Structure 1
């Protein structure tokens, strides 16, 4: 089977969409299938082309057996809705054109969160006369309204109609949460064609590691209790709550001293660094994004992982992918996300749930994990026991089953 996959994020980018797509495609290649990915030039999240690449109309490479076609796009940093939309629209056009020149596949997959990629995938399915699968990673444009990037308007309602049009035209929809599936069914989409394949963890990369002594010494984290956030610093993540928690912990006259590490990049990072400086937070360390191969070393520095999203109804439907990486490396989580993902944390017993945007609740959880060693060991043990249930290999096989069925229908 030949699978054509359109995505605007792909390694060497290290965000969740890039990792999921690469790991799934790698498994499909190993299963004996041919996979071609159409992607833009790696530039996320700073809007700067990665070393070794040029933003030109067409370039090809092979990654772990995956044929990757890179196309030109208008590149913008992950800040500003208008410029990012131009980025998305340009990829829709150039990705579609590139697909026309490629051999006819058996199935065409487009992935969100933004769905202009899926517009290109659907148009290619029409021209190539092949089935189209919509991979639903985020409810866009609902999520951009949630973070305040776009107000309710005629334009937003037009985007919502386009969203529903694509769901209906897709032969199948692969959603990453059960909540997304329920959302689509409630909006009139046939539930029989909506399948759930959650995010997961590549257990060949994310496994328990002793704290890297050289890295810890270089960053001044030796013999300290470290709470860390690893991921995008965006509007949706409300990381101001972490800074407020750091201020509360710093103000404690005695007792547990916690160092906070925030690793990653995004639209809000500079504002967060400026705010931390104004607050005099000497217990907060900001680190830039590191290469994909180095990410596990930085996970090893953490005693506790912080997962956080803004307090909003829309975010009760998402499951942050870093939750599964925490399981893989055996790091208990402090989970500031309500809804389906909080249910996983409680059901698997891999951490403590706290109210989103509640800095005091975050501090209470940190102190509890730092002081109660029996609880900490129990949560760590549960992480390692739960991780195999979210192994990316099994999840890739599940999605491959959907694609095989769809391709069989022609």
Structure 2
């Protein structure tokens, strides 16, 4: 098949769609990408990229069509809206001029929903079927993560979302719990297909990395990796770290990543005198994550308390499971269900720092054998539900026959 992937984010930005594209090429398919200039999550263009930089490049035999956009900046509301709309406008214009015919269009939507617009423009030109992969529910996630309550804006986004779903041939959902929301949005149930996230094949169980270990503090290491954003509820994490520090100073909270809440975390570290307890290690290449994970005693995943977030399986859960580590979770709904069902760790409800602190202290009291058992359970569950080749097989089947 010849497949056009439409995504606002792509390599060198670190998103799951990168590996999906590589996997499809490995299977013999021809893949091209319609995407923007990389600027996530720092909010400024990556080195060698700019508003006026080249619009076509190749990566691992994948042709990438890059369009201009307004960078995210500090991700304030107006700037973020400009970022989303500018990609939709420039990518829609580009869709008129992409040469060749594609058999299928795969749209990757971790936000914004507007990524579907250029795909529909191309569909109108070439009658190519669209497979729209929903990672975030709109407009609900705009309210949950962005705090937007204006009914006029939300109604407009609701109408846009329904239009995009209507013009997509199939809707893939990363969590089965998304289905009811889409049904309310008048999506035919026959169009909806459960298709969860997997991870790159370098996420594996491995022995602790000596090179990483010497860079980490002594003690029981709770590690978070990913976006330091509003949705990840660092308010609760920092309050829990403060509580834990008064009981057990040997518990260390190690944070890998960057994002709009990083300054907040830095301020809380100083305010709560947690310089020895919370360690920020900055951003690192995604392929270095298994080495970091191997040196952690458990891995932390968190989300704010919101009905929409409770329907989501955060993609880092698959990464954590694949590396065979115990998981400490502060979230509701589907994500917590997976951790419990896998018998892979301890779960506290979202936005409950006292309970998260209690679970962290309980995790630190487990003996090595109990922690190893949780880690084994993690990998077993991953292999049965989220393994990469298993899900690429499923995607090929969906694109061929659904």
TM-score range for the pair, normalised by the shorter chain length: over 0.9
Aligned-pair Cα RMSD in Å: 1.7
8 Å CA contact 1:334, 1:353 repeated in 2:
yes
Matches within 5 A, 1:51-62: 51-56=47-52, 58-62=54-58
8 Å CA contact 1:24, 1:392 repeated in 2:
no
* 1:117 correspondence with 2:115: yes
Which of 358, 371, 379 is 1:364 aligned to? 358
Matches within 5 A, 1:99-114: 99-102=95-98, 103-112=100-109, 113-114=111-112
Distance 1:28 1:96 in 2: 24
SS in 1 for 2:181: helix
| Greater Cα shift, 76-85 or 55-64 | 55-64
Distance 1:97 1:147 in 2: 29
1:388 corresponds to = 383
Residue 67 of structure 1 deviates from its aligned partner by 1.6
Task: Encode CA deviations 1:157-187: one digit per residue, 9 max, x unaligned.
Answer: 1111110111111111111110112211233
1:231 corresponds to = 226
Matches within 5 A, 1:13-24: 13-14=13-14, 18=15, 20-24=16-20
Residue 78 of structure 1 deviates from its aligned partner by 5.1
2:299 corresponds to = 305
8 Å CA contact 1:13, 1:292 repeated in 2:
no
TM-score by length of 2: 0.94
8 Å CA contact 2:325, 2:376 repeated in 1:
no
8 Å CA contact 1:174, 1:399 repeated in 2:
no
2:342 corresponds to = 348
Query: Could you say if the C-alpha distance between residues 238 and 57 of structure 1 is closer, same or farther in structure 2, counting changes exceeding 3 Å?
Result: same
Distance 1:211 1:115 in 2: 40
Count the aligned residue pairs.
397
Which of 58, 82, 86 is 2:82 aligned to? 86
Which of 138, 141, 147 is 2:139 aligned to? 141
* 1:338 correspondence with 2:314: no
Residue 212 of structure 1 deviates from its aligned partner by 2.5
SS in 2 for 1:347: helix
Distance 1:313 1:3 in 2: 34
Distance 1:97 1:2 in 2: 21
8 Å CA contact 1:12, 1:292 repeated in 2:
no
SS in 1 for 2:80: helix
Task: Encode CA deviations 1:344-377: one digit per residue, 9 max, x unaligned.
Answer: 1111111111111111211222222222224322
Residue 393 of structure 1 deviates from its aligned partner by 2.2
2:272 corresponds to = 279
- Structure 1, unmatched stretches of 5+, are none
Residue 256 of structure 1 deviates from its aligned partner by 6.4
1:49 corresponds to = 45
1:189 corresponds to = 187
Distance 2:42 2:228 in 1: 11
* 1:213 correspondence with 2:207: no
1:243 corresponds to = 238
Which of 260, 268, 278 is 1:267 aligned to? 260
* 1:296 correspondence with 2:293: no
| Greater Cα shift, 369-378 or 224-233 | 369-378
Higher relative contact order (CA closer than 8 Å, sequence separation 6+): 1
Task: Encode CA deviations 1:118-152: one digit per residue, 9 max, x unaligned.
Answer: 01111111122211221111102211111343113
Task: Encode CA deviations 1:13-33: one digit per residue, 9 max, x unaligned.
Answer: 12xxx2x21111111112111
Distance 2:393 2:61 in 1: 17
SS in 2 for 1:101: coil
* 1:31 correspondence with 2:27: yes
2:196 corresponds to = 198
Residue 301 of structure 1 deviates from its aligned partner by 2.7
TM-score by length of 1: 0.92
SS in 1 for 2:96: helix
8 Å CA contact 1:45, 1:78 repeated in 2:
no
Distance 1:260 1:57 in 2: 39
